[in-house]
């Protein structure tokens, strides 16, 4: 499992607690100090927006999770990182969020259907939403769950 821009490690901790190995990546990984000795955890300090090469190859992870993070140059790398039979879970702010608060800048807000376009031809969409969430406060988001298409091949 790859936790992209893991921050305080909410998703890293969730998956570790369920027995999954996790690679947590962020430019600042200090919030993971209390769990860094877990043998199922690989912590990668890396600035995803610095312009360097994405540190993981295609098909590297059974799951890729990204929440409340958008850096468009990485979208293709994140989709490619999903292994055969693996899944992408992605949720972040969408256009319309500027009415409710931060983020407001267009570079941090998905355009309508943008996550669908990011996986087109690569992953099979299992679920997709583009909506306004009312709780805990209003926010505009897109979210997608998609799997590597090969998982559905007859066999």
> What's the rounded Cα separation, in Å, for the pair 85 and 61?
10
Q: Which two tokens stand for residue 34?
A: 């209390």
What is the CA 13 to chain-centroid distance, rounded?
15
CA distance 138 to 96: 10
Q: How confident is the model at residue 136 (pLDDT cuts 50, 70, 90)?
A: confident
For 91-125, write each residue's pLDDT tens digit. Answer: 999 999 999 999 999 999 999 999 999 999 999 99
Check whether 154 has a pLDDT greater than 60: no
The whole-number pLDDT of residue 51 equals 85
pLDDT band at 153 (very low <50, low <70, confident <90, very high): very low
Distance CA 12, CA 3 (A): 6
**Interior angle at CA 3, CA 90 and CA 55, nearest 5:** 105
Residue with tokens 């921050």: 7
With the CA atoms of 5, 7, 11 and 17 taken in that order, what torsion angle do they form, in degrees rounded to the nearest 10? 130
Give per-residue pLDDT as tens, 20-77: 999 999 999 999 999 999 999 999 999 999 988 999 999 999 999 999 999 999 999 9
Fold assignment, 2-152: Rossmann fold (3.40.50)
Full strand arrangement of the beta sheet holding 22-26: 41-45, 22-26, 2-4, 61-67, 82-93, 139-148, 123-133
Distance separating alpha carbons of residues 63 and 101, to the nearest angstrom: 30
Q: Is the peptide bond before 133 cis (omega within 30 degrees of 0)?
A: no
Q: Which structure tokens are listed for 14?
A: 């969730």
Q: Where residue 150 falls among pLDDT bands split at 50, 70, 90? A: low
Domain boundaries, the chain: 2-152
pLDDT at residue 109, rounded to an integer: 96
């Amino acid at each position: 499992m790859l936790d992209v821009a893991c921050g305080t490690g909410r998703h890293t901790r969730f998956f570790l607690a369920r027995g999954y190995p996790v690679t947590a990546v962020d430019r600042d990984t200090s919030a993971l100090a209390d769990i860094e000795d877990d043998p199922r955890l690989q912590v990668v300090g890396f600035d995803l927006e610095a312009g360097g090469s994405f540190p993981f190859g295609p098909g590297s992870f059974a799951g890729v999770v990204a929440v409340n993070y958008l850096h468009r140059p990485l979208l293709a790398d994140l989709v490619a990182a999903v292994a055969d039979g693996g899944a992408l879970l992605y949720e972040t702010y969408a256009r319309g969020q500027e009415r409710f608060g931060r983020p407001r800048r267009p570079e941090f807000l998905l355009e309508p259907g943008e996550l669908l376009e990011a996986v087109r031809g690569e992953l099979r969409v299992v679920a997709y939403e583009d909506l306004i969430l009312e709780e805990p406060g209003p926010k505009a988001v897109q979210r997608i769950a998609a799997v590597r298409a090969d998982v559905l091949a007859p066999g």
